[in-house]
Structure 1
Amino acid sequence: MQYIAPIGIGVLYALLMSLVREPHRRRLNALMVAGAGAAYLSGGGLGGWEFAFTALVTYVAFRGLESWTWIGVGWLLHTAWDIVHHVKGNPIVPSAHTSSLGCAICDPVIALWCLRGGPSLIELVRDRRRPGRPRPEPGSREGLGPESPSPTPG
């Protein structure tokens, strides 16, 4: 269960994020990975490296404001940081010895979802239930709701 639950948490994260419409979903996920990048700061288990890692993930998250790929990279970086903390014995939740290991299992699930463009899992399930309905092309805005009107040249 220690290895299965984090996978479920990653899927649940993607499902809950699917309730948020684009482009807000991408931007919210950039903020989430930035927050995850600072999660170990209070423990200080790696000294100054904690600040360097936080700065790196902040940059990656900033780039993620406009790119799902960068958000996925941020989650993969956090996975590596989780592994370092698990091996060093400085878990993200001090009272839960394997919390960093769980995080290291959960984060790649989220990263894979982000690297696929953070699609709405709810829409994917709906589309599979409706046979014969053409699927939108990857990267298209079809099915993402109404587009905001563009300003008219004046």
Structure 2
Amino acid sequence: MIYVMPILIGLLYALLMSLIREPHRRRFNAIMVAGAGAAYLSGGGFGGWEFLFTAVATYVAYRGLESWTFIGIAWLMHTAWDLLHHLKGNPIVPFAHTSSLGCAICDPVIALWCLRGGPSLIDLIHGWFTRSRTAEGPPPEQTVEVSASDQPHGDTAEPVVSGGTRPRSQRPDR
């Protein structure tokens, strides 16, 4: 359960973030990862290194205000910091010995979602269900390119725009 629950929490985080519309979703996530970068400041056990990590994480999160890639990188940085704290430092939650390990499992799930551009999981799931219903319907109407060379010579009844498209049913007979 110690491995499954953090993955579910990461997925739940991405699902809840999907309720926020873009570009607010990206900016909100930049703020969230900046806060996560400061999580160990009150006693993580690495002294001055905690401040250095927080400064670097804050800069990367700031860059995340305009880039999902930087947000994903910041979550991966936090994952590495969580692993260090699990192995040698103090846990993120003082009374939960494996809390840093759980965070190190959860954070890459969020990072992968961010590196994919923070898509709305709600829209993705909705698309799966609507696509399965529309897949049974008729195929879309096919179109063909029609150019001046496709017209019989001397036919002036219908002008043709070079490079335009017309449905197959409206293609001139030969």
Structure 2: stretches of 5+ with no match in the other structure: 136-174
In structure 1, the residue matched to 2:20 is 20
Residue 44 of structure 1: how far off its partner (Å): 3.9
% identical equivalent positions: 77
Equivalent runs, 1:62-141 vs 2, <5 Å? 62-131=62-131, 132=134
Name the aligned partner's letter for residue 104 of structure 1: A
What SS does the corresponding residue of 1:50 show, helix, strand or coil?
Answer: helix
What TM-score do you get using the length of structure 1 for normalisation?
A: 0.85
Runs of 4+ in 1 over 4 A off after TM superposition: none
What SS does the corresponding residue of 1:130 show, helix, strand or coil?
Answer: helix
**Partner deviation per Cα, 1:5-37 (whole Å, 9 max, x = no partner):** 000000000000000000000000000000000
Instruction: Report which of the two structures shows the higher radius of gyration computed on alpha carbons.
Output: 2
Higher relative contact order (CA 8 A, sep 6+): 1
How many residues are aligned here?
133
RMSD value, Cα: 1.0
- Maintained 8 Å contact 2:44/2:85: no
| Cα separation, 2, equivalents of 1:79 and 1:93 | 15
Structure 1: stretches of 5+ with no match in the other structure: 134-154
Name the aligned partner's letter for residue 103 of structure 2: C
In structure 1, the residue matched to 2:53 is 53
**Partner deviation per Cα, 1:107-150 (whole Å, 9 max, x = no partner):** 000000000000000000011111248xxxxxxxxxxxxxxxxx
What TM-score do you get using the length of structure 2 for normalisation?
A: 0.75
Residue 89 of structure 1: how far off its partner (Å): 4.3
**Partner deviation per Cα, 1:62-119 (whole Å, 9 max, x = no partner):** 0000000000000000000000000014100010000000000000000000000000
- Maintained 8 Å contact 1:89/1:97: no
